[in-house]
Structure 1
Amino acid sequence: MITLETIQQARATIGDTLEVTPLITDLLLSERLGRRVRLKAESLQRTGSFKPRGGLNWIRTASRKELAKGLGAVSAGNHALGLAWAARAAGVSVTIVMPENASAFKVEGSRALGAEVILHGDINDAWALMHRLVEERGLTLVHPYDEPRIIAGQGTVGLEILEQAPEVSLLLCPIGGGGLISGIGTAVRALRPELQLIGVEPLGAASMAHAWAQGGPQRLDKVDTCAKSLAAAIVGKHTYPLCRQHVDDLIGVSETAIHDAMRHLMINAKLYVEPGAAVGVAALLQGNLELPADGDIVVVVTGGNMGWEELGEFLPLMVAG
């Protein structure tokens, strides 16, 4: 069970190590919308995303048996970085399987933190290999989003937002597998039930919208988006019901909208972001989102892990937009 109490306990568990990330006012977007827009800059967290929250909470609450033979995980990159960082401090080995198209920046960063990184196929292939490694090596699988201790750690973002932005009326959160929004949603519904919570997905990897339409988690045949950090092919058995319970609506954003949002965040808000972190702002820039009558808008900016080579690939797209 994920409750407000488990999220508060997670905050107590990780709070001595992870700092509260800043809430930055996006002045240009606020002027354009006539409402104050504030950006929760998780891109400034350790390892460059929100993921160490869940990773550190998992490590610090794990049993000796869970840690004994090492950990295994599948990740597009940010979970790998967050878990590898937390595991290194605890002296625990980690094996990560990433899709072959994973960010070189994240692969190199995870290896630098001591993780064994294996590149294998697409995200579905990566999962198949990890399940074999768990059986062969006796690894403990640390799921990137569908694990209660991970969800509770990510939910600490919600506690911080409610304290930093007491006048928030609309909260926009990216969705990959749904761990972050599940944790945030649990905190928000317990403390501010009237707050509107909207999840944002790339149209090419809308796994939560697919699950809502199908009445439960169903694997996408493929994912196709520049937002690799959100490219989960299926949502979780925990995250699906939590999102159905706590999330008011889902919005899909195009690749062009993501490029526009990246340009806006880098040039106007002065935040260096990866594509998946920009989808919340992309939803606002699309202009088809009905805003509440009053109150602040908060957008979670989930990460900034993108190498120079990747940025070089995106620059023509961002300029063209």
Structure 2
Amino acid sequence: MTIKRSLSEHLFDAANVIIMLILVVLTLYPFYYVLMASVSDANLLVGHEGLLLWPKNLSMAAYDLVMKNPNILTGYRNTIAVVTLGTTLNIFMTSLGAYVLSRKGLYWMKPLSVMIVLTMFFSGGLIPTYLLVNNTLHLGDSLFALILPGLISTWNLIVMRTSFEALPEALMESARIDGAGEWRILFKVVMPLSLPVISVMILFYGVSHWNAWFSAVIYLRDRELFPLQVILREILIQNSTDSMMTGAGSGDRESIGESIKYATIIVATLPILVVYPFLQKYFVKGVMVGAVKE
């Protein structure tokens, strides 16, 4: 049976579509502008005003200069190492904590949960954290200073715990009857059935590590250990593009410097944009499973 829709309903849908399209354009255009500017001729780009819908005399010179910068390649290496190792440890530790908290009959469940939730609202502060990491744990000038202090996110722990609680208890009981211990139940039963929420956790932790720069500025002094975002910050905020403009005339340095900034933004952002589509199909399901308790 076809339901006849009124004129007001059609107008409402049309207005929604128009508003959504406008929001999409406003959201995507800044990134599109940076992309077009990064592949434009530097001298022509400086004199351009208004919207930029296509490249100004297509040129890859800025990318050539960026990829020849050893700091960019070193930053990529360090960032990939932190993202890979950090996300792996994050998922492992968060899964352990979530599994323990999801078990019924756990002693001191409420006091333990309260203590964990309190960490979302109260912390020791920047100076005690710095003293702990740098002086007590002696992690200064080490990539582990970027990984270990934030090993478990309280919010992610709660989301994953709620997801584990939604699994039928009969599955765990069946595994115990077959002789499985808690470790095997976690890694052979619980985690394979929780792939959507684990995929979301990988995305959350991975993006957090990829975008992190503040901890690196505080704890790292050796430039060989700087992650990509610190190099990006130096280029965008401190205008440290001189090392990439060897041979450029004094009149061209400003224009080339702007192109280098745009190209660096694309180089630093592109990997996340490539990875996201592979995890996007799990995103909504994983968040809802972990956030809504049936």
User: Aligning the two structures, in what range does the TM-score lie when normalised by the shorter sequence?
Assistant: under 0.3
Greater CA radius of gyration, 1 or 2?
Answer: 2
TM-score normalised over the length of structure 2: 0.24
TM-score normalised over the length of structure 1: 0.22
Q: Which has the higher strand share?
A: 1
Q: Which has the higher helix share?
A: 2
Structure number with higher relative contact order (C-alpha < 8 Å, ≥ 6 residues apart): 2
